[in-house]
Amino acid sequence: MLHLPVRQVIRLFSIYRIVVRYGLDELILSTKIFRPLRLFAYLTPGYWLRPKHLTRGGRIRLALEELGPIFVKFGQILSTRRDLLPDDVAIELAKLQDNVSPFSGEIARHILEHAYGRPLSEVFAEFNYTPLAAASIAQVHAARLHNGRKVVVKVLRPGIKNMIHRDIELLYLIADLTNRYWTEGRRLRPREVVSEFEKNLDNELDLLQEAASATQLRRNFQNSDLLYIPEVEWDYTQSNVMVLERISGVPISDIATLKRLRINFQYLAEVGVEIFFTQVFRDNFFHADMHPGNIFVDTSDPFHPHYIAVDFGIMGTLSQDDQHYLAANFLAFFRRDYHRVAELHVHSGWIPANTRIEEFEGAIRSVCEPIFDKPLKEISFGLVLLRLFQTARRFNMEVQPQLVLLQKTLLNIEGLGRQLYPELDLWKTAKPYLERWMDERVGVRAFFKGIRTNLPLWAEKLPELPMLFYEALQQHHIQSVQLKRLNHEVGELRQEIKRHHSRLSVVLTGLALIFTASFFLSIQSWSLANSPMVGLTLGIIGSLMLLSALLKTKS
């Protein structure tokens, strides 16, 4: 029987109340999958209680906002996939990217003054109490420092940590129920996925961590003309407050303005793909929340525009093995080498080792072959992912929690590319970069790069080699002496064990003779006249053997 904590029961009722309040239960029944039950939509509470003045997209957006940050993030991900949603719903969900209901400027002032321990006027020369943007975790205000520099101030929402941890507990409950009652649960590893999600949210709730991530990403693209990262004002940054250089650019979602400025959309889309692969494979440190609300375009050079990124709360990294397997998988896909793809999945441990390679190869071919040689606008990655999921289930492929962020980012990138330049050839753009990276990683260039990288270390250690060699010889001599002594001690121990066994045999034989002598001496009606003499003789021999063993032991 399932026993739920009281707070989780209360939260479930709260979720149901919000679902009913915005008529989402009626919307669920009106979807294609529930079409046979749509007549019962008139019996749902949502049908009668929903706000009549709101569109269905508006109801979904407001419900997600009221449900909390985790649900808002889910809506943000969906908003980037216009190919998977009706237009009216996609337009409303796009507002979740940077247009969530803000908290008041007075509350922001109270948080800031408590953080800095002094009046706001002493910290900033100017502070705009009306937020520039509000998201699920924090909101941003414009300000100016006393040195004249324009900045933005990011402030965490009050009580946000408790809200997130409450819903994370609920997600763990759902994950446990999935594991217990669904046969696919173990393969999908829902608890590990929730754990990965929780770790990322914890990072997002610490603005010092976000500031450090922004600084690292800025360093990675210091000399690049593809991506600009604003500078962190560390003297004003704390765990719940972050201050950044204020940037100016056109939001990537403002397609009308970008068209009016005659921006080169093809270049912008191809650069976006290059930035993604550079972060993932060159730096192994990628922005994992690349929805349109976090991306701007510097339009000073319309023919060669560059990106500006903000909001660095969710960053992703991969192990070297995952990097290698992903790059090899991508290249094998681009070359249509499905046998190699199947082999890589087995070697990486993503599918069971006893999987038939040829069978898995055929399944992958049937999923991927139809999408090649097509522009992005003709490829439904939603459908591709669905078919890959079905293939994974058929071959018992487990979900890899460490790749969830990467998959989410890929969806964002694909949705962004679809909006900017639908003719983008994703394969043609990415393939040369991956080939170059693989060559640098495992090819001849990798060999010489390794020598070049390690040469300073070798030069530093070269003067120490004679001493290191002498110390190695000394260590070898000491170990040889110790080994000889150990061998001698082991030999002595073996001899002692043999002597002990010999004495033990004598003792046991002596005891046997004594017991036998006792038997002969105890028989009264023995037919042989000399039986007492036999018993006495055996007793004397047994006693002498025991005495001999005792004397050897003392010696």
pLDDT single digits (tens) 345-400: 888 777 788 888 888 888 888 877 777 666 656 665 555 655 666 676 677 776 66
- Establish if 479 belongs to a structural domain: no
- Establish if 314 belongs to a structural domain: yes
Q: Among candidates 271, 227, 538, which has minimal Cα distance to 413?
A: 271
Identify the DSSP state of 270: H
- Establish if 47 belongs to a structural domain: yes
Are residues 316 and 276 part of one domain? yes
Looking at residue 9, its amino acid is V
> pTM of this prediction?
0.66
Are residues 127 and 54 part of one domain? no
Last residue of a domain, one of 33, 63, 94: 94
Are residues 38 and 120 part of one domain? no
Q: What pLDDT score was predicted for residue 399?
A: 60
Are residues 350 and 202 part of one domain? no
The CA radius of gyration of the chain, in Å to the nearest whole number, is 37
Enumerate long-range contacts of 365-369, CB under 8 Å, 24 or more apart.
Answer: 365/338, 367/391, 368/333, 368/336, 368/338, 369/336
Residue pair 279/307 in contact by the 8 Å Cβ criterion: no
Token pair listed for 257: 């303005």
Are residues 328 and 431 part of one domain? yes
Answer whether residue 82 shows pLDDT above 80.
no
Answer whether residue 528 shows pLDDT above 50.
no
Over range 324-334, report the average pLDDT: 79
Q: Is 61 exposed, middle or buried (0-12, 13-18, 19+ CB in 10 A)?
A: buried
Highest mean pLDDT (candidates 87-101, 111-125, 420-434, 519-533): 111-125
The dihedral region occupied by 218, where left means phi > 0, alpha psi between -120 and 50, and beta the remainder, is alpha
Over range 408-429, report the average pLDDT: 76
Q: What pLDDT score was predicted for residue 231?
A: 95
Question: What is the rounded end-to-end Cα distance, in angstroms, of the chain?
Answer: 73
Residue pair 64/96 in contact by the 8 Å Cβ criterion: yes
Last residue of a domain, one of 210, 227, 259: 259
CA distance 7 to 165: 12
- Establish if 468 belongs to a structural domain: no
Residue pair 252/275 in contact by the 8 Å Cβ criterion: no
Q: Which residue segment(s) compose the domain that 26 sits in?
A: 6-94
CA distance 277 to 274: 5
C-alpha of 341 from chain center: 22
- Establish if 42 belongs to a structural domain: yes
Are residues 436 and 289 part of one domain? yes
CA distance 122 to 113: 10
Partners of 141 in beta bridges:
153
Per-residue pLDDT tens for 101-150? 788 999 999 999 999 999 999 999 999 999 998 887 889 999 999 999 99
Are residues 123 and 216 part of one domain? yes
- Establish if 251 belongs to a structural domain: yes
Neighbours of 531 (CB within 10 A): 17
CA distance 323 to 344: 12
Per-residue pLDDT tens for 90-102? 777 777 766 677 8
Are residues 116 and 220 part of one domain? yes
Which run of H or of E encompasses 412? helix 404-420
Are residues 302 and 290 part of one domain? yes
Q: Among candidates 171, 159, 122, which has minimal Cα distance to 143?
A: 122
- Establish if 521 belongs to a structural domain: yes
Q: 150-156 and 227-228: which strand pairing?
A: unpaired
Over range 327-342, report the average pLDDT: 81
Which run of H or of E encompasses 150? strand 150-156
Token pair listed for 394: 């058929």
User: Residue 243's pLDDT band (boundaries 50, 70, 90)?
Assistant: very high
CA distance 475 to 468: 10
Answer whether residue 41 shows pLDDT above 80.
no
Are residues 433 and 290 part of one domain? yes
Residue pair 265/420 in contact by the 8 Å Cβ criterion: yes
Burial letters 360-372, b for 16+ CB under 10 A, else e? bbebbeebbeebe
CA distance 208 to 185: 36
CA distance 508 to 511: 5
Number of domains in the chain: 4
Looking at residue 419, its amino acid is Q
DSSP string of 246-264?
A: ----EETT-HHHHHHTT--
Residues taking part in catalysis = 289
Over range 427-439, report the average pLDDT: 76
Last residue of a domain, one of 411, 442, 473: 442
Are residues 285 and 208 part of one domain? no
- Establish if 185 belongs to a structural domain: yes
Q: What pLDDT score was predicted for residue 375?
A: 63
Are residues 205 and 146 part of one domain? yes
Answer whether residue 155 shows pLDDT above 70.
yes
